Amino acid sequence: MITTLLRGALRARGTEVALLCHTGTESRAALDGLPLGPLDRILDLDSLAVSGSFEVEGAWERGLGAEVGLVAVVAAAPTDLHRALTAAAGLPRAAHVVVALLATPGHQEPPLPASPGMGQWRDLQEARVRRLDRSGWVCELFFPNGVETPQVLDAVVQGTRARRRGPATAPLAVLHGPEAALWRPGDTGVRGVEEAGPVPLRRVTPVGDLALRVGGTGPRAGWTDERVPVLDRDTTAADSWEHIGGNDGLAAARRWSERPDPVSAVAPIDELTVNPAGFRKAEDGPLGELTVHGDRAVVREGGKDLVAVAPDGTVTDVDLSRLRHLRGIRVDWSGHTGPSAAVRAVASLAAGGVPLIGGTVPAWAAGLGRPLADLLTGASDEDLTDRLRREEHSVRLRRAALRAHGVRARWRALGVEVGLAVPPEPRVSVVLCTRRPGMVGFALAQIARQRHVRLEVVLALHGFPVSLPEVASAVAEFGETGIPLVVHEADGGTVFGAVLNEAVDRASGTLVAKWDDDDWYGPEHLADLLLARTYSGAELVGTGQDFVHLQEVDVTVWRSRESETSTRFVAGGTILTDRGVLEETGGFRPLPRAVDTQLLLAVVRGGGRVYRTHGLGYVLRRTGGGHTWSEDMAYFLHNYARQWFGRRFSALLEGEPAPFGRPAAQNTGEHR
Name the strands in the sheet holding 618-622, side by side, starting at the edge strand that comes first in the sequence.
520-521, 618-622, 547-550, 555-558, 642-645
b/e burial code for range 204-223 (CB count within 10 A of at least 16 → b): eebbbbbbbbbbeeeeeeeb
Q: What's the full length of the chain, in residues?
A: 672
Q: Which tens digits make up the pLDDT trace of 209-219?
A: 999 999 987 88
Residues 510 and 468: their CA atoms lie apart, in Å, by: 31
Residue type, 198: P
DSSP class of 50: B
Secondary structure (3-state) at 88 = helix
Q: What is the rounded CA–CA span in Å between residue 36 and residue 17?
A: 9
Name the residue type at position 281: K
Q: Which residues of 272-306 are buried (b: 16+ CB within 10 A; e: fewer)?
A: bbbbbbbbbbbbebebbbbbbeeebbbbbbeeeeb
Q: Render pLDDT for 436-464 as a digit per residue (tens, 0 to 9).
A: 999 999 999 999 999 999 999 999 999 99
- Convert the pLDDT of each residue in 156-171 to its tens digit: 998 887 667 778 899 9
Beta carbons of 323 and 311 less than 8 angstroms apart? no
Cβ contact 650:559 at 8 Å: no
H/E/C letters for each residue in 199-231? CCEECCEECCCEEEEEECCCCCCCCCCCCCCEE
Q: At what angle do helices 387-405 and 370-377 cross, to 10 degrees?
A: 160
Share of the chain above pLDDT 90, in %: 79
Which pLDDT score, from 0 to 100, does residue 250 have?
63
Contact 279, 563 (CB under 8 A): yes
pTM here is 0.95
- How far, in Å, CA of 147 to CA of 116, rounded? 11
User: Are β-strands 511-515 and 427-434 bridged in parallel, bridged antiparallel, or unpaired?
Assistant: parallel
Enter the DSSP assignment of 390.
H
**CA dist., res. 460 & res. 443, Å (int):** 12
Runs of H (alpha helix) within 437-513: 440-448, 469-479, 496-505
Q: How high is the pLDDT of residue 531?
A: 97
Tens of pLDDT, residue by residue over 558-590, are 999 899 999 999 999 999 999 999 999 999 999
Distance CA 2, CA 136 (A): 10
Write out pLDDT tens, residues 331-383: 998 767 789 999 999 999 999 999 999 989 998 899 999 999 999 999 999 99
pLDDT in tens, 596-642: 999 999 999 999 999 999 999 999 998 865 444 445 677 777 778 89
Closest to 51 (Cα-Cα) out of 187, 199, 185, 154:
199
Residue 249 has pLDDT above 70, yes or no: no
C-beta separation of 186 from 85 below 8 A: yes
User: Which is higher by pLDDT, 494 or 248?
Assistant: 494
